[in-house]
Structures are given as structure tokens and as C-alpha cells.
Structure 1
């Protein structure tokens, strides 16, 4: 009996000991888990510092050169092409004949109209003579005069149409494309030549709202071409859009006089440089610090291990850096990545 009681006491003591050990281990695990959970609650971010720098005031915008004049010359009458007088690459002047279309049928029309005119003129003279003798009435003479005027107008129209057998250009430039060959048949309106004038070109660029306010029509602008690193061109602003696009950019058009060798060609990549070469001191932060678009003017500032949502006022754009005119001070640390996971007062952990 004694042995049974002792055994029960020993087993009970063992169970109590095991329970105490397990309970202690449980508290330790819970404490460690809480530490890990607290650490994992912090959002990983990268930061940069708002700083005052001497910034180059020049603002660059890119675009593609376009010809100031580009015209497709078409045939005005139908017929068979007899001769083509220019090739692709030929320089042509306004009013120059580019091709000749067969005009036999048109000449027949002129002959018929001339014959009708001669008959109407003879009849009018005969009726006017007969009016003096009373052989015809004034109304008959007036009717004959109307027929004569119609015949004269028809003859004039036929001659004008016959003159259209030549295809001429209305602008000066270079033949960029020839679309007809001798022997081909053309109808009225058939495209025959593309004429491009590159003595003057246009460069169309987009300027953001912060910089467009400093631009004026007629202002001189330095223009660079990517293929000519050693050459600079001068342009003049001819158009500033009164309305921005969806990205708050304003289309600006610049006119550039080509050099005597016509080095600039339509389709080349160009850069307009606005603002000259001066510098100014500005408080700047990286473009990536902004939440959403720059126009939203919202950033997160790191303070005491937390992300603080801050409203700022952005200024000029300097490439990857944006000027801040209010809302931040030099030395403030702004979050530049990880903002998608942040709300105001979110705990953060800075990574490098």
C-alpha cells in the first residue's frame, strides 16, 4: 500500500514538473514571437535627404524634327503619263513642271469648244445685222447673245482644262517620293509626288507646367540634334499650346532655320534647351519621393521610425530632382521607395 502511495506521489510530482517546464517554454516562445511580429510589422523602405544644391537652370525637352512644308502633288486631270521630269532627291521650285500627262483628248475638247464659239459668234453677228432691217426681233438677238456667251465660257473652261496636262508643284523643296512612272494612267487626284521643304524645320516638344510659364512666342531657343554632337542650331518659339495634355505637359513648337547644307533632316531626334546656362540654389528631393504624380505634391517623411505623410509644394524640374518651395526643410529624410505599402504613421525600417 505504501509503495502505491509513493508511486502516485512521484508520478504527480513528475507531471507537475513537466507542466511547469512546458509553461515556461511557452512563455519564452510567445515572447520571441512577439518580438519577431513587432519587427515584421515595420515596412521596409529606402530614404534620401532633402538638400540645397546649385542647380542648372537649363531645361531640356526632346522631340522629332518635322518639315515646315510637306505637300503631296496630285494629278488634276486623267490621262496617260508621257514624261516624268524629276527624280527622288531633285530640288524643285514653286510652279515647276514635274510631269506631263497625255493631252490629245483634251485638245479635241478645245477644238470642239472653239468650233462652237465660232458658230455662236457668226450667228450673233448675223442676227444683229438682221435686227436693223426688221428681219428678227430684239428678243431673238438677246437669245443669240446668250448662246454666244455660253460658247465663250465653254471655250475658256476647255483651255484651262487642257492646261492641266502638266503636273506642277505649288511649293519649293526636295522630291521625297515619286509615285508615278511614264506610261502609267492617272486619274484626277492621283498622288504623284511628295515634296518636302527642309530649309526650315519644326521641333515639337512637351514642356511641363512649371517651366512653360517662363516661355514666350518669339523667344530664341538653343536646339541640339543627337546626330551632330558638335553643332548647335538656333530656333524660335512659334506656338505654345493654351491647353495641357493629360500629363500636365504643354506642346511647344519651335521653328529652326536649317544650315546651307541642310544637315537637319525631318525625322531626326532633337533637343530644345530652355533657360540658358545660369545656376540657382534650390531645395531639391528625388522625383521618386513623390507619391503618385508630382502634381499630387505628397511625400512621406521619416520621423522617429515612422512614415509621416507630408504635403509639399513642388517647383521646377531638374531631371531626376524636383525643387521643393514649401513643406520641407534641408535635412529632412524623405522615403523614396516602398510608399505603396505606407499610410500615415506607419512604422518603417530603413534598408540600404
Structure 2
């Protein structure tokens, strides 16, 4: 009898404990926390298909002007940044000796021309041998050639621009002693730029001449420049597996400069009324793409098929409909069927104590 009296309280305690655990589990399930996420709506829009790469802008015409003679630099007539015309004088070497040599050569020509004129009249009367006549004629021809060489050497003491352009570098100074083929200036045509983009051979069939090219550079953030495919090299570089594509850049875009690093997009297709979602919404695992679709405060994982993509969006070929909402931030915390709470991203606010922009400008 005493054993029965002792067992009853124990059983009652176990029952109460079991009931408390069950109530706790039910309460935990009831209070399942919603995961905050940001979403975007599947929309219809246009998208461009593009091959993206990088390139360094180059001048179509650029030349290093060399000194053709040795000598001391007497005058430097242009500076870096000056615009020059084809044939314009850029620098002059000391040329007194060259002028004297040309004068001496010309004097020899004048003397031999007089001798030849007299000898010719005598030869026509058969008063001089043919040998003497031919010898004088040869001497006159040699003297004329020597005079031409002296004139050429004098002209080459002047350094001139090969074409219209900008002086982009000056290598000489007044008083420098330079040798033949020494660098003097670099002339660049700023208004005719090109860029070389190296495209993998697997993508080359997509590209054609005249395809539009968009370019961006760090010097002008947010601004898009344009060009067009000019040439596609017919030969594949075996060492890299790429093909050189030459882009011609619109000459009216004066902000661009040779040597700038550019990000390029060669646009080879365009689609209207495409289903678009932000790039951030797509999850790629094992070469398959999926997204989380939000409906009735729950997120469901759905496999999708992706088409073209640009800097901000992907085209969806299968798996979504216009108007559906997809998660763009918070996917790492989600699993299929998880409860979610859609939140609005906070806008950037000025730091505490910062003065309004207008007030800062007025100050």
C-alpha cells in the first residue's frame, strides 16, 4: 500500500514534465523566426548580349621622330602638348658646316657645267676626243650627286613632324649632342584611337565587323563611350587561344586619351521583352542556377535557366514568370520553405554631425 502511495506522486511528476516539454516544443514551432530578406520583382525589359573584356587605348597613328644627322641641338621649337602640322619644323641642329659643304659642292657643279658646255662645242667640231668628253660628263654627274647629298644632309639637320598631331614626348634639349637615329620627339594623333580586345576562339563566331562596342574608363566614372569592331584577325594565337579584335573609337570623344585602360563590351545581340532578374538573385551550384521565390511569406527554391546577362541583370529563359518576387539579399540563411520577412534596404544617410551638402557648399 505504501509503495502505491509513493509511485503516484512520481508518475504525476513525470506526466507534468512531459507535458511541459511538449508545450515548449509547440511554442518553439509556433514562434519560428522569419528571416529578413530583400526581394526584386521579375520584370520585362531589353537586354544586350555582349563579350566583355579589357583593352588599352592606342593611337592609330603614333611615331617616334628620329634625328637623321649627328650634331648639337641648336633650337627646340615645340613642347609637349603642342599641336603640330605635317612637315612643321620641330628642332634644328647646328648646320654651319653642312651649309659650307653644300656651297662647295654647288661650286664644283657650276665649274664643271661651264667646262662641259665649252667641251661640248669643241667635241661637236671633232677637236677633242670622245674619252675626254665622256670623262667631263661623268665628273659633272658626280658633282651634281654630291651637291644633292649635301643639300639632303642640310635638310636633315631640321627635325620635322611626319603628320598632324600632338607632341606627346620630347627627348632632346638645346645644347645636347645627338647621334643619327637618336629619339627626338613622339607625335601622336589624338583624334583617331583604337583598342585591341583579345577574344577566346570559342566566342569569335558571335562577333562581326561594325558591331557596337561600349567602353568605360576610370578617368570618367559613369560615362559610357562608343566604338565599333573594325577588324577581326583571321589568325588564332596558338599560345593564348585568342583572336585579336580591333575596335575603332569614335573620334568625337575627346575625353579619351591613348594609354587609358578601358573596360569593353562588344554587343553582338539584343532582345526585347525578356524576363529580367538582378544578378544577385541567382545562385549557381554544380553548374546549375536557381533562385528563391517569395510567396505567402515563405521562400521556395526554384531551378531556372539563364540566358543573356549584362552588368546588372540576367535574362530568365525558364522557371519564372513576370511579377514574381525573387530574393536578392539573404539567400545564405535560407532553405526551401523557410519563413521570410521582406525588408526595404536602407538608403545611405549622412553621418552624424555632417553638415548638409548645400550648407557645406555655401561655406
Relative to the length of structure 2, the TM-score reads: 0.60
Cα gap change, 1:127 to 1:236, in 2 (>3 Å): same
What residue is the counterpart of 1:21 in the other structure?
A: none
Cα gap change, 1:268 to 1:106, in 2 (>3 Å): same
The answer to whether the 8 A contact 1:287-1:320 is kept is: no
Matched residue count: 253
2:99 to 107, 110, 119: 107
Helix, strand or coil for the counterpart of 1:278? Answer: strand
What residue is the counterpart of 1:293 in the other structure?
A: none
The answer to whether the 8 A contact 1:80-1:101 is kept is: yes
Cα gap change, 1:256 to 1:77, in 2 (>3 Å): same
- Give deviations 1:304-328, integer Å, cap 9, x for gaps: xxxxxxxxxx9978789999x9xxx
The answer to whether the 8 A contact 1:80-1:185 is kept is: yes
1-structure distance, mates of 2:78, 2:169: 10
- 1:314-325 matches, cutoff 5 A: none
1-structure distance, mates of 2:167, 2:195: 21
What residue is the counterpart of 2:174 in the other structure?
A: 182
1:68 is the counterpart of 2:60: yes
Cα gap change, 1:206 to 1:316, in 2 (>3 Å): farther
Residue ranges of structure 1 left out of the alignment (5+ in a row): 1-52, 291-298, 300-313, 331-352
What residue is the counterpart of 1:308 in the other structure?
A: none
What residue is the counterpart of 1:275 in the other structure?
A: 268
What residue is the counterpart of 2:15 in the other structure?
A: none
1-structure distance, mates of 2:190, 2:283: 40
Cα gap change, 1:317 to 1:242, in 2 (>3 Å): farther
1:254 is the counterpart of 2:247: yes
2-structure distance, mates of 1:81, 1:229: 43
- 1:204-243 matches, cutoff 5 A: 204-243=196-235
- Give deviations 1:144-184, integer Å, cap 9, x for gaps: 11211111122122112211121001022211111111111
The answer to whether the 8 A contact 2:211-2:268 is kept is: no
1:58 is the counterpart of 2:49: yes
- Give deviations 1:16-72, integer Å, cap 9, x for gaps: xxxxxxxxxxxxxxxxxxxxxxxxxxxxxxxxxxxxx99944322222211212210
Relative to the length of structure 1, the TM-score reads: 0.62
Residue ranges of structure 2 left out of the alignment (5+ in a row): 1-42, 277-281, 289-305, 320-363
> What is the deviation of 1:271?
2.4
2-structure distance, mates of 1:247, 1:157: 49
The answer to whether the 8 A contact 1:210-1:317 is kept is: no
Helix, strand or coil for the counterpart of 2:192? Answer: strand
2-structure distance, mates of 1:287, 1:85: 62
Helix, strand or coil for the counterpart of 1:58? Answer: strand
- 1:99-178 matches, cutoff 5 A: 99-178=91-170
> What is the deviation of 1:268?
1.6
Alignment RMSD = 3.6
